[in-house]
Structure 1
Amino acid sequence: MLKSVHLAAVVALSLAMPGLARAEQPALDTVVATVNGKPITLGHMIAMRDALPPQYLQLDDETLFNGILDQIIQQEAIASTVDGKLTRQDELMLENQRRGYLASIVIDRAARAAVTEEAVQKLFDERYGSQEPGKEYHAAHILVKTEDEAKAIKAELDKGADFATLAQEKSIGPSGPNGGDLGWFGAGMMVKPFEDAVMALEPGQVSDPVQTQFGWHVIKLEEVRDAKPVTLDDVRPELEKELEQQAVEKALDELTAGATIEKSADGIDPAVIRNAEFPKD
């Protein structure tokens, strides 16, 4: 497939030009060029525009218009010379690409149709409607490699040593330079032994040594607060994605089940998928 070399060159070399006065918008089947007698329409250009990376859409209108038109003209001038010269592999690749593109249209339509405001709200109510906000914890820790080191640190703290100072001096965790401060976190955000230890503490209390896969921790609970309730806007993207995935899976299952399918690959050695090749031209 051709890379958009010409359009990229237009991007690099173009200067901002004043926009043309807007006339009545032409129809999508308006012919904007012909190449060897084959018409290129405005619709072809709009379809290419919708497939461009976002950065191209930042171009001014005239540069974008001319760049797309020149790109399609170039492609058609080259592609038209292939007529009658396709290999069998070329033909099969085109069939695969057409099949894949048409399938993607159906799947995309199913995904988009599934994401309605009513569906998003319903899923939100099911997922979060009866959920209690829960608690959030502000804690700090000192992480060391061995239990003996952790016990020694706990003994120093029991004698009145400053937690943040010891964390800066002895913690091997990334929060050490910040006095061991981990900020605020909720349930499920820390590994379970660490979380269990935090939830068992009262604000201002320091834990006995706690082991996790990262090493040995001495933990200080600073504060506890009620977590903010989850709002629809907080989780809208993940809910929409879930609805899309559900719709895609349903469409795949239903459309495949509704098709008349007869497999006739029995007796074919699966190794053929790796070893077979098209004849060399």
Structure 2
Amino acid sequence: MAIRHTLFPALALVAATALGQPAAAQDKPDPATVVATVNGTDITLGHMVALRASLPAQYGQLPAETLFNGILDQLIQQTLLMQNFEGELSRRSQLLLDNERRAIIASEAIETVMSDELSDAQIQAAYQDQYAGAEPETEYKASHILVETEETALDLLAQLEDGADFATLARENSTGPSASSGGDLGWFGPGVMVESFFDSVAALEPGDVSQPVQTQFGWHVIKLNDTRINDVPALEDVRAELEDSLRQEAFDAHVAALTEKAEIERANTDEFDPESIGNLEILEN
């Protein structure tokens, strides 16, 4: 979960300027270690670590000492501004704080549920459920040319029969996103493509070109480039996938149980304009 933050100049410019000497290295860093005190308010190493974790990935390219000092200056500036803020928070800011607190605590709860250890028996059972008795399936490598009308598809087919290059025709005529790669769709198996498209592919032999095939996207001229047998994977090859699935199931069950026990009342959302959530003016005091 990304935590909202504002890049103050001290941190936004650390890529260009090192802001001083790094803190002394510690054998066992303690998150409670105070790295600065601003008018009696402590800033700890833990605060710095938490802010570092919320920064965009590109900050990881900076030298460690540069980033360390930039983050510390960022927190000092924020503390000064917070201490000298007068008046009430705007409604928008208060709601953002509410949402961040809710999201952070929810994230902690998610981590607790999904970090439970999975036994080998659970993983083995999941593997059996998903793969036991599964037959090896054929995968297909195909290319296609997508056009708007059957007439255009038939004309392309005639050009192919006269010796035209399939990839060249795809680049010049296809309206699909694969046009730039000569119509290449890569490898796919059952359930990936639209049924009529897949059935046409499965009926071809490698090197064959189909008659025009209609789908909701238009008319396709399809060439089957190759086939292969995709064997049932070994447990170790899919262990990570199975663990992710089991953890997701545990989380879904946890949320379902909480929902069932909770008293949740929803307003009649038909009375709301869905576009209203994009109107920041309603948060103005």
Which residue pairs with 1:14 in the alignment? Answer: 18
Secondary structure at 1:135 match in 2 = strand
Report the TM-score, using the length of structure 1 for normalisation.
0.69
CA contact (8 A) 2:90 2:284 kept: no
Residue 168 to residue 118, structure 1, CA distance change in 2 (3 Å): same
Q: Give the Cα separation in 1 of the matches to 2:202 and 2:27.
A: 67
The structure having more radius of gyration, on CA atoms, is 1
Residue 32 of structure 2 is aligned with which of 29, 49, 61?
29
TM-score, L = length of structure 2: 0.68
The counterpart of 1:97, out of the listed 89, 92, 100, is 100
Letter in 1 for 2:68: F
Native 8 Å contact 2:19 2:70 kept in 1: no
1:80-159 paired onto structure 2 within 5 Å: 80-82=83-85, 85-87=87-89, 89=91, 94-113=97-116, 122-139=125-142, 145-146=149-150, 150=154, 153=157, 157=161
Query: Which residue is 1:73 aligned to?
Result: 76
Q: 1:20 to 1:192 in 2, by over 3 A?
A: same
Q: Which runs of 5+ in 1 are unaligned?
A: none
After TM superposition, give the deviation of residue 235 of structure 1 in Å. Answer: 5.7
Contact 2:145-2:169 within 8 A present in 1 as well: no
Please say if residues 114 and 244 of structure 1, whose CA atoms lie closer than 8 Å, have aligned partners that are also in contact. no
Query: 1:110 offset after TM fit, Å?
Result: 1.7
Partner SS state of residue 173, structure 2:
coil
Conserved? CA contact 1:135–1:226, under 8 Å: yes
State the AA in 2 paired with 1:112. S
Corresponding letter in the other structure for 2:139:
E
Deviation of the 1:48 alpha carbon: 1.7
Q: Helix, strand or coil for the counterpart of 2:58?
A: helix
| Matching residue within 187, 207, 230 for 1:227 | 230
Instruction: Tell me the distance in 2 between the aligned counterparts of 1:152 and 1:272.
Output: 48
Cα 1:241–1:16 shift into 2, 3 Å: farther
Alignment of 1:230-245 (within 5 A): 230=233, 239=242, 241-245=244-248
Once the two structures are superposed, residues 151-204 of structure 1 have per-residue CA deviations (whole angstroms, 9 ceiling, x without a partner) of: 8946994xxx43x44775698336789887666443334332232233234456
Supply the RMSD in Å over aligned alpha carbons.
4.6
The structure 2 residue matched to 1:190, chosen from 193, 198, 206, is 193
Q: What is the aligned partner in structure 2 of residue 248 from structure 1? A: 251
CA separation of 1:230 and 1:42: change in aligned 2, threshold 3 A: same
Q: Secondary structure at the match of 1:254?
A: helix
